[in-house]
């Protein structure tokens, strides 16, 4: 998937003038996706190291959820493969709530998969689930705000600030939120500290 994404990256760089604000926004968006993919990859590896897939239905469900997350990443990269610029708003409105909804599903299945563990370990998994839920809510709020701010019908004077400027602001907010999420998941100290 990462290899295929280089094709998308090269199209963004080659097909658009590098001085264009839209090219800059697309490049920042792709960098953000790469950060999500690689940090998720590391988190997943550590999660599987401490909480391997079991052979039961929950293990299979968690594995299928992992595959679904990879598909979401692939779809998100392909948003920028399309020459229609309106599709890029999908990135701001839908990608992060869907990604974090899948993370929440993954954490929920893992909690069920490992329901017969000690109280301390169960507290750890519940805390991680709560972190994912909080950040999912934050991404849903950011998606709604993006829609409201960039929708021309919502604000009478929407032309005062160009929608491209708002996209840069939201890219910064999304990046900071993802960094905070990764930090919170890593910063929690416990015996089973590594999870997606």
User: What is the secondary structure of 23-81 as a DSSP string?
Assistant: HHHHHHHHHHHHHHHHHHHHHHHHHHHHSPPPSSHHHHHHHHHHHHHHHHHHHHHHHTT
Whose tokens are 């991404």? That residue is: 139
| Tens digit of each residue's pLDDT (9 = 90 or more) over 104-148 | 999 999 999 988 888 888 888 889 899 999 999 999 999 998 888
d(CA 16, CA 40): 29
d(CA 44, CA 17): 37
Closest CA to 92 of 20, 153, 161, 33: 33
Closest CA to 36 of 75, 63, 7: 75
Task: Give pTM, 2 decimals.
Answer: 0.82
Domain positions in the chain are: 2-187
Q: Report helix, strand or coil for 120.
A: helix
| pLDDT in the model for residue 109 | 94
* Of 169 and 192, the one with more pLDDT: 169
Return the ∠ at Cα 96 (arms to 36 and 174), rounded to 5°. Answer: 70
| Tens digit of each residue's pLDDT (9 = 90 or more) over 139-185 | 999 999 888 887 765 555 545 456 778 888 899 999 999 999 998 88
Neighbouring residues of 195: CB distance < 8 A, sequence distance ≥ 6: 43, 46, 47, 50, 51, 107, 110, 125, 128, 185
**For residue 46, what are its two tokens?**
């550590």
Closest CA to 188 of 126, 121, 128, 100: 128
Whose tokens are 């519940």? That residue is: 126
């Amino acid at each position: 998937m990462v290899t295929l994404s280089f094709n998308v990256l090269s199209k963004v760089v080659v097909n658009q003038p590098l001085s264009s604000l839209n090219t800059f926004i697309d490049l920042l968006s792709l960098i953000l996706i790469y950060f999500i993919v690689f940090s998720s990859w590391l988190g997943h590896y550590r999660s599987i190291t401490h909480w391997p897939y079991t052979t039961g239905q929950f293990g299979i469900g968690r594995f299928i959820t992992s595959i679904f997350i990879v598909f979401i990443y692939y779809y998100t990269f392909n948003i920028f493969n399309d020459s229609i610029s309106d599709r890029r708003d999908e990135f701001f409105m839908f990608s992060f709530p869907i990604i974090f909804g899948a993370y929440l599903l993954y954490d929920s299945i893992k909690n069920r998969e490992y329901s017969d563990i000690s109280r301390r370990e169960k507290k750890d998994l519940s805390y991680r689930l709560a972190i994912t839920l909080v950040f999912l809510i934050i991404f849903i709020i950011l998606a709604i705000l993006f829609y409201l701010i960039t929708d021309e019908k919502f604000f009478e004077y929407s032309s005062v600030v160009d929608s491209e400027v708002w996209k840069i602001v939201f890219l910064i907010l999304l990046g900071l939120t993802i960094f905070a999420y990764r930090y919170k998941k890593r910063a929690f100290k416990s015996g089973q500290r590594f999870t997606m």
